[in-house]
């Protein structure tokens, strides 16, 4: 199913937004689009909607199962504008937002669906879930100069930390909000603008009237930006992302300074939630 733009989707395909959870995928380039969409479909999203340039191709098995919307998110319409328009039309529906070459993992995702995850999260009276964008990168940049290789992916096993998120109105830390750092954005921070160095995202959230996503993956409702409820720890998830590695190797200011992303804390990514739980990169909360 294909639409000529977000206006066309909201006009002719509004019934597709009525039942979630929905995955919204924004293709910045043509790298691993098919793999990203297949991963989302395996997790059990009711619909996967991909926003991509008209000239990008999809594999036939993917094209038959996803909703494709023509869009140039780099130039014509920002990601958050599209998301906010969908929020208006899908009250009460859970949404997931990611880019191509990004893969959602949550506790026990090998045997449980994203619908089961969000049903439990809803029962805990949570309308949003903190996610960490965990940088992964190709182990051999000579063989994979674009820094993307699913079969040879590595991540950092340490080097992650959090700082209190200061409220500019009071100059005090916000309640249950932290700024998280680590991965390639930390190791190569001289090449990353300060406003793009955080790895925390509210990538999973439930739409409601008046809700607005900002360009830093946070929302105008401060409770959505918290990592847990006041009573106990809640579930968190991880978005395994090649996005930073891609950018560092494409940027003329950094590409020639990076011969390899390997360091002493690099480990192969096993593509399994257990590894992420063991490394403390996501939290099962009370979900066992």
1-100: CATH number: 3.40.50
Domain chopping of the chain, boundaries: 1-100, 109-202+209-288
Of 263, 266, 244, whose CA–CA distance to 254 is shortest?
244
- What is the reported pLDDT for 77? 82
Asked whether the predicted pLDDT for residue 80 surpasses 80, the reply is yes
- Beta carbons within 10 angstroms of residue 184's beta carbon: 27
| Average confidence score pLDDT of the chain | 95
CA–CA dist 93, 109 (Å, integer): 20
| pLDDT score, position 74 | 64
Check if the beta carbon of residue 249 is closer than 8 Å to that of residue 258.
yes
Cis peptide upstream of residue 21 (ω within 30 degrees of 0):
yes
**Which pLDDT does position 47 carry in this prediction?**
95
Would you state the structure tokens that stand for residue 104, as one six-digit string? 């959602």
Q: Which residues lie closer than 8 Å to 237 by C-beta, 6 or more apart? A: 104, 105, 106, 107, 117, 129, 130, 131, 132, 203, 204, 282
pLDDT confidence of 71, banded at 50, 70, 90? Answer: confident
Q: Report CA 143 to chain centroid distance, whole Å.
A: 26
Q: How far apart are CA 232 and CA 112, in angstroms?
A: 22
Does residue 68 contact residue 1 with C-beta atoms inside 8 Å?
yes
Residue 72's pLDDT is 81
Q: What percent of the chain has pLDDT over 90?
A: 90
CA distance linking residue 288 with residue 280, whole number of Å: 16
Identify whether the C-beta of residue 94 lies closer than 8 Å to the C-beta of residue 34: no
User: Over 80: is that where the pLDDT of 62 sits?
Assistant: yes
Burial category of 143 from C-beta neighbours within 10 Å (exposed 0-12, middle 13-18, buried 19 and up) = exposed
**pLDDT, position 268:** 98
pLDDT digits (tens, 9 = 90+) for 105-117: 999 999 999 999 9
Which of 12-21, 94-103, 198-207 is predicted with the least confidence, judged by mean pLDDT? 12-21
pLDDT digits (tens, 9 = 90+) for 112-152: 999 999 999 999 999 999 999 999 999 999 999 999 999 99
Q: For 229-243, what is each residue's pLDDT tens digit? A: 998 899 999 999 999
The arithmetic mean of pLDDT across residues 80-84, rounded, is 94
* Residue 144: predicted pLDDT: 96
Q: What pLDDT, in 10s, does the model give residues 161-180?
A: 999 999 988 999 999 999 99
Measured between alpha carbons, how far is 187 from 181 in angstroms, rounded to an integer? 10
Residue 73 has pLDDT above 90, yes or no: no
Q: Is the pLDDT of residue 96 over 90?
A: yes
**Position 14 pLDDT exceeds 80:** yes
Instruction: Give the mean model confidence (pLDDT) for residues 50-78.
Output: 90
Residue percentage of the chain with pLDDT more than 70: 100
| Residue 67 CB coordination number (10 Å) | 19
Judge contact between 227 and 121, C-beta under 8 A. Answer: no
């Amino acid at each position: 199913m294909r639409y000529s733009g977000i206006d066309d989707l909201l006009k002719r395909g509004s019934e597709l937004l009525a039942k979630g959870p929905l995955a919204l995928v924004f293709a910045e380039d043509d790298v691993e689009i098919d793999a990203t969409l297949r991963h989302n479909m395996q997790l059990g999203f009711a619909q996967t909607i991909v926003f991509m340039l008209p000239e990008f191709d999809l594999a036939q098995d993917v094209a038959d199962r996803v909703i494709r919307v023509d869009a140039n998110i780099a130039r014509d319409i920002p990601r958050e504008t599209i998301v906010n328009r969908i929020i208006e039309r899908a009250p009460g529906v859970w949404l997931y937002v990611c880019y191509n070459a990004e893969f959602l993992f949550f506790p026990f995702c090998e045997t449980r669906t994203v619908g089961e995850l969000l049903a439990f999260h809803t029962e805990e009276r949570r309308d949003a879930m903190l996610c960490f964008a965990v940088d992964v990168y190709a182990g051999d940049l000579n063989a994979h100069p674009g820094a993307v290789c699913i079969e040879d992916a590595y991540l950092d096993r340490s080097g992650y930390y959090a700082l209190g998120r200061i409220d500019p109105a009071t100059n005090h830390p916000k309640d249950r909000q932290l700024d998280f750092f680590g991965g390639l954005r930390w190791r190569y921070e001289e090449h990353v603008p300060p406003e793009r160095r955080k790895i925390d995202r509210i990538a999973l959230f439930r739409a409601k009237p008046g809700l607005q996503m900002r360009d830093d993956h946070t929302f105008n409702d401060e409770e959505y930006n918290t990592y847990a409820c006041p009573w106990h720890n809640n579930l968190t998830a991880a978005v395994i992302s090649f996005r930073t590695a891609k950018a560092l190797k494409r940027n003329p200011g950094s590409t020639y300074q990076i011969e390899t992303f390997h360091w002493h804390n690099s480990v192969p990514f096993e593509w399994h939630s257990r590894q992420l739980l063991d490394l403390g990169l996501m939290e099962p909360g009370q979900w066992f």
